[in-house]
Amino acid sequence: MRQRGFTLIEILVAIAIFSLIAAASTAVLTNVINASEQSTQSIHRLQAIQRAMTVIERDMLQAVNRAPRIDGQDQNTIVFRGGVGEMDSTYDGVSFIRNGWHNPMWRLPRSNMQGVAYRLNDANVLERLHTVFVDNDAGVEPKIRPLLTGVSEINIEFMIAASASNEVNWEASYTGTKVPKGVAIDITTDDFGVIRREFALLDPLLVNSTLNAPSNASSTNPARTN
């Protein structure tokens, strides 16, 4: 019985078919890997945005009517500032005093209040600024924490009071001796677009420089009283 093998044309056709299948499988696998990487990056980015919003919410909801002493002087009565260029922001910025900074059993030589501010720098990074003491001596620079990258704009609005018909009117800037009724923040990112959060603020009592101070703080040093 005569044996018959594959012809050269049959082998070439088989190789061509196998090559097409391999190329298609490689393309599908590459797309799956790219989609997985993009999904992971999007999840990490979303988590970063959520963390930033959580920090902002925590600070905003604990804002207090406390006017910090500037350069050791008591003349300042402004407790809340916000608007274009505040704290050298490239867009809107805001600064205020918040309560609730954890100080277990007053072991740290500071109060449980903290001066905080938010701004957008030239590198499109949303920054949180804070000082260890509410009342600081001249020349004290705040500590800077990069909060969120890839932010192209930040716009902050302030609600002073609702109208008689309960309509909310937002103001583009605010400088006052009391915390505003509400704050709205629009953060524009390169990947998620505009993200808006609105915070309804309580009307806290006026806090003076002698309250919320640790018992072992020096009364002669304004940087350690509060």
Q: What does the pLDDT look like over 107-131, one tens digit per residue? A: 888 888 999 999 999 999 999 999 8
Instruction: Judge whether 22 lies within some domain.
Output: no
Instruction: Judge whether 126 lies within some domain.
Output: yes
Residue 93 near residue 119 (C-beta atoms within 8 A): yes
Instruction: Judge whether 33 lies within some domain.
Output: no
Instruction: Judge whether 200 lies within some domain.
Output: yes
Which runs of consecutive H residues, i.e. helices, occur in the chain? 8-61, 222-225
Distance (Å, whole) CA 47 – CA 33: 21
Q: Residue 23 pairs with which residues in a beta bridge?
A: none
Number of domains in the chain: 1
Instruction: Judge whether 34 lies within some domain.
Output: no
Record the tokens describing residue 195, joined without a space: 């993200």
Q: Name the pTM for this structure.
A: 0.75
Instruction: Judge whether 18 lies within some domain.
Output: no
- Residue 103's domain comprises 58-225
Q: Residue 116 pairs with which residues in a beta bridge?
A: 96, 130
Distance (Å, whole) CA 111 – CA 132: 9
Q: What does the pLDDT look like over 128-163, one tens digit per residue? A: 999 888 887 777 889 999 999 999 999 999 998 766
**Percent of the chain residues past pLDDT 90, beyond the cut:** 46
Instruction: Judge whether 112 lies within some domain.
Output: yes
Instruction: Judge whether 23 lies within some domain.
Output: no
